[in-house]
């Protein structure tokens, strides 16, 4: 009864160190870890102890006899990974990193660290700091919204409830001794970077990347042309987007870019709303989707299927058990110019993706709701008078016996750009506007003027490395930043802040802490129980604030 890693693997690799036979790959120290779509269990080495199941924060690991029909494919995928790359028994597992004694601050006071942002990156940073046994540390986390979780709450699609379970481990972190959380406090508005540096040895920006990138083509500003990030934030009940409206009165929606965000929005737009009614989707979005006329989402990618940005697990999640047809033109899978890839790991990933696409290309249609995957297709102009009426697309003809280019105007009622996210600048903190990230070296923020580290200032997560990877990718990213902080500490590169934390409360606006977030959580869960849903989200900032403040103020 070997265990199997399934679709919603978050790559946080909590399973790796607890496996007594070291059969989970790639490990975080493996060069392939940074690009892997998921982790895999070697069925020939697994001893079925279930230790990995207990620590998986998203419930992605399942004994083979418990696999549902939608998960069944993953048994073969796990086995095939080792057939392609070699048995786990033959691959050396990494040594655990030895913790070194760092030092203590002058006067033996705890090291004071401010973490800005209570999403995955912020939580992994706090956990990594507080998990160190060699340094006495105190962490204060500041979050501009009234709820924790960042993109886990506002980015992960509502029909991926298991992925959202990772918030339970974030709640455990927030309950740890040595951590305070201040919700409803925006750094740059309510407190400045300079004010934080006067009170903390290190300030870590883990603020993520929220804005969708632009395409830079005519018509992008027409009504009903939006970034997928806005649409995702809207259906996930983000308070800043709750008043947004999307016109769903047309049959066809076009999505530009084919990453996992594109698949998420396509799936939500074409799912049966009654299936979504069992999730924590925002009420306003559920209502709009119940009245939606959308029947087809066309996902356009400028490159070929071999370079598709979506991952195989998510492609399988779109095409199995959803009642949605995924349409692929078989001609676009022919005559692909496939480069050699650097490793068996990469080869396995590409082969798997292409084999799933081939299966989809030959599958008969059975549903009136469909997602069409188009490749070699670039947007030229979004057309319409005041609102989207269509999109002009340039096709590179690649396939059986054809070549050249042609354009097409595809009629549609909405265009969503799913071409990646970008971060926004925080006053007083260096920012690389071209990349939408904070310039850094291993998490140390760099002064753009001379490329040297800015004392006491660090970054992690998407605002550090750009919008890539899944939730657990932020864990390794946070560990790197924490290592940089502690290395600077050990080498005397952290300044002693001139002020203590005594006057912090007077400096901050009215705020609330973990107990306030728990009150919001309990409020939403109770509303969910009453209506047979996992939770009913509160989407109004004022209401969230009132519930949060009604609990005990920030610790």
Give dist(CA 466, CA 483) in Å, integer.
20
Residue with the two structure tokens 């939408």: 436
Interface segment toward ligand NAP; rule CB under 6 A; list 50-58, 82-90, 193-201, 308-316: 308-316
Rule CB under 6 A: say whether 12 interacts with ligand NAP: no
**CA dist list (Å): 326 to 10, 297, 479, 520:** 24, 10, 39, 38
Residue 269 binds ligand NAP (CB under 6 A): no
Q: Rule CB under 6 A: say whether 2 interacts with ligand NAP.
A: no
Q: Does 257 bind ligand NAP (CB under 6 A)?
A: yes
Whichever of 74 and 142 has its CB closer to ligand NAP, that residue is 74
How many residues does the structure list for the chain? Answer: 555
C-alpha dist (Å) from residue 234 to 231, 252, 288, 437, 468: 5, 19, 11, 24, 21
Rounded Cα distance between 380 and 343, Å, is 36
Q: Which residue has the tokens 């960042």?
A: 150
Residue number with the shortest CB distance to ligand NAP? 259
Nearer to ligand NAP, 169 or 511 (CB): 169
Check binding of 19 to ligand NAP (CB under 6 A): no
Nearest approach, Cβ of residue 486 and ligand NAP (Å): 28
What are the CA-CA distances from residue 243 to residues 36, 284, 324 (Å)? 37, 9, 29
Quote the least distance from Cβ 299 to ligand NAP, whole Å.
9
Question: Among 64, 75, 159, 314, which residue interacts with ligand NAP (rule: CB under 6 A)?
Answer: 314
Mask for 418-437, x = binds ligand NAP (CB under 6 A): xxxx----------------
Q: Cβ–Cβ contacts within 10 Å for residue 126, how many? A: 28
Q: Shortest Cβ distance from residue 10 to ligand NAP (Å)?
A: 8
Write down the least CB distance from residue 400 to ligand NAP, Å.
Answer: 23
Span interacting with ligand NAP, options 172-180, 254-262, 324-332, 509-517, rule CB under 6 A: 254-262
User: Using CA atoms, how far apart are residues 471 and 395, in angstroms rounded to an integer?
Assistant: 34
For ligand NAP, the binding residue among 119, 150, 259, 423 (CB under 6 A) is 259
Alpha helix (H) ranges present in 245-290? Answer: 260-270, 273-276, 283-290
Task: Look at residue 393 and give its three-state secondary structure.
Answer: strand
302 binds ligand NAP (CB under 6 A): yes
Contact between 264 and ligand NAP by CB under 6 A: the answer reads: yes
Among 256, 324, 371, 504, binds ligand NAP (CB under 6 A): 256
Pair of tokens at residue 325: 């047809």
Residue 215 as a binder of ligand NAP (CB under 6 A): the answer is: yes
Q: Name the residue nearer to ligand NAP (CB basis): 264 or 524.
A: 264
Residue among 260, 279, 312, 474 that touches ligand NAP (CB under 6 A): 260
* Strand pairing class (444-446; 453-459): antiparallel
Cross-strand bridge partners of residue 377:
395
The shares of helix, strand and coil residues in the chain, as percent rounded to the nearest 5, are 35, 20, 45
CB of 283 to ligand NAP, least distance (A): 22
454-473 residues in contact with ligand NAP (CB under 6 A) are 467-470
Distances, alpha carbon 373 to alpha carbons 255, 409, 414, in Å = 10, 17, 17
Residue with tokens 């047309």: 250
Q: Is the bond preceding residue 26 a cis peptide, omega within 30 degrees?
A: yes
**Among 6, 258, 319, 440, contact with ligand NAP (rule: CB under 6 A):** 258
Alpha-carbon 235 to chain mean position:
16
Q: Quick check: 309 binds ligand NAP (CB under 6 A)?
A: yes
> Shortest approach of ligand NAP to residue 471 CB, angstroms?
8
Decide whether 303 or 493 has the Cβ nearer to ligand NAP: 303
Question: Within a 10 A sphere around the Cβ of 69, how many other Cβ atoms?
Answer: 8
165 binds ligand NAP (CB under 6 A): no
Binding residues among 109-148 for ligand NAP as defined by CB under 6 A: none
Applying CB under 6 A, which residues contact ligand NAP?
215, 256-262, 264, 301-303, 307, 309, 311, 314, 378, 418-421, 467-470
């Amino acid at each position: 009864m070997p265990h199997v890693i399934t679709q919603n693997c978050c790559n946080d690799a909590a399973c790796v160190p607890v496996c007594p036979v070291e059969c989970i790959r790639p490990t975080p120290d493996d060069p392939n870890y940074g690009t892997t779509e998921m982790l895999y269990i070697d069925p020939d080495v697994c001893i079925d102890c279930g230790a990995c199941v207990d620590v998986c924060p998203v419930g992605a690991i399942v004994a083979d006899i418990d696999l549902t029909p939608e998960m069944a494919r993953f048994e073969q995928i796990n086995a095939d990974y080792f057939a392609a790359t070699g048995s786990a028994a033959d691959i050396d597992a990494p040594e655990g990193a030895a913790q070194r004694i760092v030092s203590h601050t002058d006067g033996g006071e705890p090291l004071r660290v401010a973490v800005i942002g209570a999403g995955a990156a912020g939580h992994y940073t706090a956990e990594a700091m507080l998990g160190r046994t060699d340094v006495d540390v105190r962490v204060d986390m500041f979050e501009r919204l009234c709820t924790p979780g960042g993109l886990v709450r506002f980015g992960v699609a509502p029909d991926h409830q298991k992925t959202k379970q990772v918030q339970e481990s974030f709640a455990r972190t927030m309950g740890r001794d040595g951590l305070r959380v201040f919700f409803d406090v925006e750094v740059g508005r309510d407190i400045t970077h300079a004010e934080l540096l006067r009170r903390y040895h290190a300030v870590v920006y883990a603020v993520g990347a929220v804005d969708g990138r632009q395409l830079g083509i005519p018509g992008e500003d027409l009504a009903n042309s939006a970034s997928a990030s806005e649409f995702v934030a809207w259906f996930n009940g983000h308070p800043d987007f709750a008043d947004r409206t999307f016109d769903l009165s047309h049959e066809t929606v076009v999505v530009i870019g084919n990453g996992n965000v594109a698949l998420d929005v396509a799936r939500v737009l074409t799912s049966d709303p009654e299936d979504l009614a069992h999730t924590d989707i925002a009420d306003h979005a559920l209502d709009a989707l119940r009245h939606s006329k959308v029947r087809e989402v066309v996902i356009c990618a400028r490159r070929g299927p071999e370079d598709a940005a979506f991952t195989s697990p998510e492609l399988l999640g779109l095409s199995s058990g959803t009642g949605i047809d995924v349409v692929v033109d078989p001609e676009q899978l022919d005559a692909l110019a496939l480069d050699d890839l650097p490793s068996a790991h990469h080869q396995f990933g590409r082969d798997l993706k292409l084999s799933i696409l081939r299966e989809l290309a030959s599958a008969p249609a059975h549903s009136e709701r469909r997602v069409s995957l188009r490749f070699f297709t670039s947007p030229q102009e979004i057309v319409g008078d005041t609102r989207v009426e269509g999109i002009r697309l340039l096709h590179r003809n690649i396939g059986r016996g054809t070549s050249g280019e042609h354009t097409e105007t595809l009629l549609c009622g909405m265009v969503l750009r799913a071409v990646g996210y970008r971060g926004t600048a925080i006053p007083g903190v260096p920012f690389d506007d071209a990349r939408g990230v904070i310039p850094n070296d291993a998490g140390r923020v760099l002064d753009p003027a001379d490329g040297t580290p800015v004392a006491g200032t660090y970054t992690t997560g998407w605002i550090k490395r750009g919008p890539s990877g899944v939730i657990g990718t932020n864990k390794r990213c946070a560990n790197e930043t924490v290592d940089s902080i502690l290395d600077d500490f050990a080498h005397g590169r952290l300044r002693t802040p001139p002020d203590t934390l005594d006057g912090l409360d007077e400096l901050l606006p009215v705020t609330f802490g973990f107990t306030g977030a728990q009150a919001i959580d309990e409020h939403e869960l109770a509303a969910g129980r009453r209506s047979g849903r996992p939770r009913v989200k509160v989407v109004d900032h004022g209401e969230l604030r009132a519930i949060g403040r009604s609990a005990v103020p920030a610790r």
